[in-house]
Amino acid sequence: MVKITDVARRAGVSPSTVSYALSGKRPISDETRRRVQAAVRELGYRAHVRARGGTGAGARVLALSVPLRSGVHVPVVTQFAVSVVTAARAHGHDVLLLTRDEGEEDVGRVAEAGLADALVVMDVQLQDPRLPLLRSSPLPSVLIGVPAEPDGLTCVDLDFGAAGELCVEHLARLGHRTVALVGSPPEVYVRRTAFARRLVRGFTAAADRHRLSSAVHPCGADRGAARALAERLLREQPAPTGVVVHNEPLLDPLTDAFEQLGLRIPADLSLVAVCPAPVAASARVPLTSVTVPAAELGTRAVHLLVQKLSGAPVPQVTLLPPRLTERASTGPRPV
Amino acid sequence: MVKITDVARRAGVSPSTVSYALSGKRPISDETRRRVQAAVRELGYRAHVRARGGTGAGARVLALSVPLRSGVHVPVVTQFAVSVVTAARAHGHDVLLLTRDEGEEDVGRVAEAGLADALVVMDVQLQDPRLPLLRSSPLPSVLIGVPAEPDGLTCVDLDFGAAGELCVEHLARLGHRTVALVGSPPEVYVRRTAFARRLVRGFTAAADRHRLSSAVHPCGADRGAARALAERLLREQPAPTGVVVHNEPLLDPLTDAFEQLGLRIPADLSLVAVCPAPVAASARVPLTSVTVPAAELGTRAVHLLVQKLSGAPVPQVTLLPPRLTERASTGPRPV
DNA sequence: CTGAAAGCGCTAACAC
DNA sequence: GTGTTAGCGCTTTCAG
Lowest-confidence region among A136-150, A205-219, B108-122: B108-122
Residues 6 or more apart whose CB falls under 8 angstroms from that of B162 comprise B202, B319, B321, B322
For residue A119, the model assigns a pLDDT of 95
Q: Which of B211, B273, B302, B311 lies closest to B76, judged by CA?
A: B273
The identity of residue B39, as a single letter, is: A
For residue B102, the model assigns a pLDDT of 78
**Alpha carbons A85 and A62: distance in angstroms, whole number:** 9
Geometric angle at alpha carbon A131, from A128 and A136, rounded to 5°: 165
Lowest-confidence region among A105-114, A131-140, A316-325: A105-114
- Render pLDDT for B9-61 as a digit per residue (tens, 0 to 9): 999 999 999 999 999 999 999 999 999 999 999 999 998 877 765 544 567 88
Pick out the nucleotide with least CA–C1' distance to B8: C3
For residue A57, the model assigns a pLDDT of 58
A92 touches strand C (CB under 7 A): no
Shortest CA gap A202–chain B (Å):
31
Q: Could you tell me the distance in Å between the CA of residue B55 and the C1' of nucleotide C1?
A: 23
Q: Which of A11, A84, A91, A86 lies closest to A43, judged by CA?
A: A11
For strands A94-98 and B94-98, give the pairing.
antiparallel
Size of interface A-B (CB pairs under 8 A): 113
For residue B311, the model assigns a pLDDT of 84
- What count of Cα atoms within 13 Å lies in the side-chain half-sphere of residue B296? 12
> CB B320: neighbour CB atoms within 10 A?
18
- Render pLDDT for A84-94 as a digit per residue (tens, 0 to 9): 999 999 998 99
Q: Tell me if chain A has a CB within 8 Å of the CB of B296.
A: no
For residue B12, the model assigns a pLDDT of 96
Structural contact between residues A246 and A183, judged by C-beta atoms closer than 8 angstroms: yes
Chain B residues inside the 8 Å CB shell of A113: 46-49
**Alpha carbons A46 and A104: distance in angstroms, whole number:** 33
Question: Averaged over A128-141, what is the pLDDT?
Answer: 92
pLDDT, greater one: B50 or B87: B87
Pick out the nucleotide with least CA–C1' distance to B20: D11
B28 touches strand C (CB under 7 A): yes
For residue A54, the model assigns a pLDDT of 53
Query: How many angstroms separate the Cα of A207 from the Cα of each of A79, A190, A230, A285?
Result: 31, 23, 20, 25
- Render pLDDT for A221-233 as a digit per residue (tens, 0 to 9): 999 999 999 999 9
8 Å CB contact of A99 and B110 = no
Report the share of chain A in percent with pLDDT over 90: 81
**Cis peptide bond N-terminal to A218, omega within 30:** no
Averaged confidence pLDDT in chain A? 94
Residue A55 has pLDDT above 60, yes or no: no
- Render pLDDT for B154-176 as a digit per residue (tens, 0 to 9): 999 999 999 999 999 999 999 99
Question: Averaged over B133-146, what is the pLDDT?
Answer: 93
Q: Tell me if chain B has a CB within 8 Å of the CB of A74.
A: yes
**Alpha carbons A59 and B59: distance in angstroms, whole number:** 12
**Alpha carbons A230 and A262: distance in angstroms, whole number:** 11
Nearest to A115 among B53, B94, B222 (CB): B94
Structural domains of chain B, ranges and CATH numbers in brackets: 1-58 (1.10.260.40), 61-158+294-322 (3.40.50.2300), 160-291 (3.40.50.2300)
Report the share of chain A in percent with pLDDT over 70: 98
Pick out the nucleotide with least CA–C1' distance to A57: C11
**Alpha carbons B76 and B80: distance in angstroms, whole number:** 7
Question: Averaged over A2-6, what is the pLDDT?
Answer: 92
8 Å CB contact of A100 and B89 = yes
For residue B56, the model assigns a pLDDT of 44
Nearest to A97 among B52, B97, B222 (CB): B97
- Render pLDDT for B275-319 as a digit per residue (tens, 0 to 9): 999 999 989 899 999 999 999 999 999 999 999 988 899 999 999
For strands B155-158 and B317-320, give the pairing.
parallel
Chain A residues inside the 8 Å CB shell of B79: 74
Residue A26 has pLDDT above 60, yes or no: yes
For residue A246, the model assigns a pLDDT of 97
- Render pLDDT for A177-216 as a digit per residue (tens, 0 to 9): 999 999 999 999 999 999 999 999 999 999 999 999 999 9
pTM of the model as a whole: 0.91
Q: Can you list the alpha helix ranges (DSSP code H) found in A114-245?
A: 131-136, 160-173, 186-190, 194-209, 223-235
Q: Tell me if chain B has a CB within 8 Å of the CB of A1.
A: yes
Q: Which of B182, B199, B53 lies closest to A3, judged by CA?
A: B53
- Render pLDDT for B197-224 as a digit per residue (tens, 0 to 9): 999 999 999 999 999 999 999 999 989 9
